[in-house]
Amino acid sequence: MQFFLLQVTEVNNAANYLPIGLQMIFAIGLIATIIVGSNFLGPKRATSDKLQNFESGIQIRGNARQPMAVKYFLVAILFVLFDVEVIFFYPYAVNFRELGWSGFMAVVMFVSLFIAGLVYIFKKGALKWEE
């Protein structure tokens, strides 16, 4: 037993984090070198054609700051919300035998809240596109 405790304390010391620190220093140094090197070695001809905005070969028309319908953002946020909620089913699916009836009841409560939120969204008309 004492040998096991001795091994655990030897594994968790600061010297074991030295390779991670060196790798981070090397990565930051490499990134800084590439950015500074490309700034010094890259071409610096700022012509009027290079200073114009370019959108995938499409000519620029109008102002990009036009108002956009909030429905797009609402649908995107609702998608992320319900997508993240579905992720919480994975731990239950992996451990459903060990969780037993108490785990099943917890999932039933979770699903009922999930469905209640979906019904609330439908009743509020958040997904209606008529305008």
CA dihedral 12, 15, 20, 22 (to 10 degrees): 170
Structure token pair of residue 77: 């946020």
pLDDT at 9: 54
The answer to whether 104 and 96 are in contact (CB under 8 A) is: yes
User: Where do the domains of the chain lie?
Assistant: 2-124
pLDDT at 126: 77
| Strand stretches in the chain, DSSP E | none
DSSP for residue 52: S
What is the spatial distance between Cα 18 and Cα 7, in angstroms, rounded to a whole number? 19
pLDDT at 27: 97
Pick the CATH number of 2-124 from 1.20.58.1610, 3.30.300.30, 1.20.200.10, 1.20.1260.10: 1.20.58.1610
Structure token pair of residue 46: 């700022």
Which of these ranges, 51-60, 106-115, 118-127, has the smallest mean pLDDT?
51-60
Choose between 53 and 21: higher pLDDT.
Answer: 21
pLDDT at 5: 55
pLDDT at 33: 97
pLDDT digits (tens, 9 = 90+) for 65-98: 777 777 777 888 888 887 888 888 888 888 888 8
Choose between 36 and 124: higher pLDDT.
Answer: 36
